[in-house]
Chains A and B, each alone.
Chain A
Amino acid sequence: MLKIENLHAEIDGKQILNGLTLEVGAGEVHAIMGPNGAGKSTLAYVLGGRPGYEVTEGSVTFNGEDMLELEPHERAAAGLFLGFQYPVEIPGVSNVQFLREALNSQRKARGEEPLSGGEFLKLAKEKAGLLKLDMEMLKRNVNVGFSGGEKKRAEMVQMGILDPKLAILDETDSGLDIDALRTVGEGINAIMRQPDKAVLLITHYQRLLDYVQPDKVHILAKGQIVKTGGPELALELEREGYEAVA
């Protein structure tokens, strides 16, 4: 589903990704772990197409299509969802307006009919319910004044509404309390655990992986995947740290 080969990328002329290779198949969940500054968020941003993140070598295909050729919004319409480590606040734009605009833009790009206001609200209610987020929160401006955990939960509501094929979730577990962690974990499973979908979970800890069990765990260090293993690799890392394992 997602195939990354020998990816090199730089920000402001500074090389961050140094030949990263990774393949995620349909129906799979992969975890990426790695020390601070290793390039995990950079990988997520490069896949999302953030301006200023320049690919200098290598390729990324998504269901066989060259993803690097697509504009960021086209990647989203093609089924990519990027969960942000730091969700962005948009003052003056409500979640409802933002998400309806997002969903209908994606549907338009795919040649589907737009959802009416009523249909959209019904869908939003259902997904907010799944993530146990108060509908009132969705009437507020995007992420403005949300607590750290609320932002992460709101992002998962966004994911539920947009129903992507591939989710790259950058530290979605950070900032969540114990109960929220479970809700979010179960939400990710409910939304993404399907044979034609895949998830790339970027995380520092085992705790989210208790709920969303990965098929593979990768260690990213200095802009490369330096080790790949099964779920036991995350446990080993938690016990022994990066220096011993990678």
Chain B
Amino acid sequence: MSDLATLPTTRDEDWRYADPDALKELTAEVLDDWQEVTLSAGETSVQSFVLDDTNPGVTRVRLALGEGARAEIYAIASASEYARLEVEVTLTRGSHFEFGGVTIGGGDVTREFVTRVTHAEPEATSNQTIRAVHWNRAIGNFLGRIEVVRDAQKTDAAQNFRAILLEKGASANTKPELEIFADDVKCAHGAAIGALDPMEGFYMAARGIPPEVARKLQVQAFVADAFAEMQDEAKAEELLGKVLDRLGDAQL
């Protein structure tokens, strides 16, 4: 596949919730910089992407999975400026794509995940779990497109997005897009945007836990779902630690 990047604007569907000012800074070079990964039949890969202050901006990844292959991507978008991870995946028979992502942060900043998963053959599965935690005037987005081509029967594709907004000015957007051209398909998607449960907070306070520690426990419990499928527990802990460090910066 070749790419001739045209510079996007928020009028483009895939960029509708992006930070318009940040888009003006984008170059074709950045947009053409796809990290390509090809997995042969039965192969497994686990990758993590941390879009923090050392790696903000747009990161694009393209995966092609052979039969029965398994790709896992875990990601954090926590930079203090616009951060976006795009993942394009093509699944063949019996392969699986797992995505776990957390956008977290404050400021006047947009952080987003955009995934496009094509179930190109029957019996492939995909599971995506995204959690967003934001404060100040920050925005967290998840745009997830799932395409199930004709005759890709027994496809099982799941998407789950949940956001917690710690302050009134923060917001979250999600746009699941399902294009299904097969009939024997399971596609589950769920989305919820809410706040931390104040009764949990009071219960913890009643046991002596100060509000900032209580919040950390609640956020940890909330985002843990995104890394729940990770086999490497030390790596999962490390990612969770990075998420909670970012929360530690919040002045609430």
Contact = CB atoms under 8 A, between A and B. Distances in A.
A156 to B, nearest CB: 13
A126 to B, nearest CB: 18
A245 to B, nearest CB: 32
Interface residues of B, number: 20
B211 A73 contact: yes
Interface in B168-201: 198-200
Query: Main SS of the interface on chain B?
Result: helix
Given A51-B198, A73-B211, A92 B221 contact: yes
Q: How large is the interface on A (under 10, 10 to 19, 20 to 34, 35 or more residues)?
A: 20 to 34
Contacts of B198: 51
B221 A73 contact: no
A42 interface: no
B241 to A, nearest CB: 15
Tell me what chain A mostly uses at the interface: helix, strand, loop, or mixed: helix
Contacts of A109: 208
B204 interface: yes
B42 interface: no
B204 A106 contact: no
B203 interface: yes
A84 interface: yes
B221 A72 contact: no
Contact of B209 (A49, A51, A91, A102): A102
Interface in A111-165: 142, 158, 162
A106 to B, nearest CB: 4
Contacts of B199: 88
A144 B220 CA distance: 16
A105 B220 contact: no
A158 B221 CA distance: 20
Contacts of A158: 207
A92 B210 contact: no
Nearest to B211: A73
